Chains A and B, each alone.
Chain A
Amino acid sequence: MKLLMITLFIVSSWTIASEPHNHDGHSDMMHHSHEGHLHNELVDGEKLEVNPDRFDKFVSNLSNAQVAVISVKGMVCDFCARGIEKTFQKDKLVKKIDVDLAKGKVLLAYDKDIQIVFEDIQNKILANGINAIKMQILVI
């Protein structure tokens, strides 16, 4: 019996430790890490494909925020990306913007309580002639 209790304790502890952290009660799309390497975290079952150094620098001074990682098509040069940056600089809800050219991502930081609307982001990016195809959200 004692052995069974110990086994159950170890198995249950291991299971809990294996589950993703979700501190805010939001959907499964929102996870975050305590290890300072958010780019390694799974989001909605997928790994984030971002430049780790760039991403860590982007989130380094953010708190109580959420980051929308937007996958885009057609952003092949700095000029394309600069138009996107300028567009979102006019959006007062966006706290911070960065672009990962190599991975084809646009990073947008919002306050944690903001409802991010992908369609709105898609339209803003399309105004630059670029297609936004996917959004992943991380809570910081």
Chain B
Amino acid sequence: MGIYRYILFFILASANIEARPISYSGGSTLMMFSDNMKDSLYYHYSPSYKYSVGIENLKDKNLRDDYSYLRFTYLINRKNNVHSQRNLYFQSGLSNKSSNHFFYGIHGDWETRRWFLGFDTKKVENRVKNYKQNHLQIGFAPYLGEYGDIHTWLMLKTKKTSIKDKRSLYPVLKFFKGNTLLEFGYNNKTEWDIHLMYRF
């Protein structure tokens, strides 16, 4: 049970902090994520809109283990249209605990002002058990806000891992205004997810 909880923690830690992995040139982003299992604090800096480097500190509330990831994200491809944007990212993280503890993967999204589609596939290697994870997300904006308004997204997330061959699906409510994003997700197994992001 302990191992599964530990693995589940890794899955959650890597699945909920992928929004906006790169900022504008010279921009910084601070992300906080919290649920009943862990707290995560992730700061990244983008020297260019094409990549970001950052540090993520994780606190495992159940296993009482703290560690950090040195993270690197690279924009492989972006397609801008008048009313849409499509992105493909490579992302990776290396733990301070061990050189055998790291993750890497691909993250892609397509969005308009009304719709969002995203996917994420990654492999996590650690001292407990390696695994793969796939993640899909669809979002809908019930209204189109103007610049500076509060923007709202209704989303559905689904996750599947190679450890548990079982897909979980849960709703997410996302708000953002100005430099701040606030996201709530609810899963009957993991209870509340809270994600706060601030861009400098």
Contacts and interface: CB of A to CB of B under 8 A. Distances in A.
**A and B interact physically:** yes
B129 interface: no
B81 A73 contact: yes
Most buried by B among A74, A80, A130: A74
A111 interface: no
B187 interface: no
Contacts of B181: 79
B25 A128 contact: yes
Interface of A: 51, 54, 73-74, 76-84, 86-87, 98-102, 104, 126-131
A73 B80 contact: yes
Contacts of A78: 145, 147-149, 151, 176-178
B27 interface: yes
Nearest to A106: B147
A77 B153 CA distance: 11
A102 B112 CA distance: 11
Nearest to A83: B24
Given A76-B113, A82-B179, A87 B78 contact: no
A65 B63 CA distance: 62
A84 B144 CA distance: 20
A104 B83 contact: yes
A76 to B, nearest CB: 5
Contacts of A99: 147
Given A104-B83, A129-B24, A77 B113 contact: yes
Q: Which 4 A-B pairs have the closest CB atoms?
A: A74-B80, A83-B24, A129-B49, A127-B25
B196 to A, nearest CB: 14
Interface of B: 20, 22-27, 48-50, 75, 78, 80-85, 111-113, 144-149, 151, 176-179, 181, 199
A86 B149 CA distance: 17
Contacts of A86: 24, 27
Contacts of B147: 78, 81, 98-101
A75 to B, nearest CB: 8
Contact of B84 (A51, A76, A83, A84): A76
Contacts of B75: 129
Contacts of A84: 24
Nearest to B179: A82
Nearest to A82: B179
18 contacts: A74-B85, A76-B83, A77-B113, A77-B151, A78-B148, A78-B151, A78-B176, A78-B178, A82-B178, A83-B23, A83-B24, A84-B24, A86-B24, A87-B24, A98-B147, A104-B82, A128-B49, A129-B78
Nearest to A103: B82
A87 B46 CA distance: 14
Nearest to B153: A77
Nearest to B85: A74
B80 A79 contact: no
Contacts of B23: 83
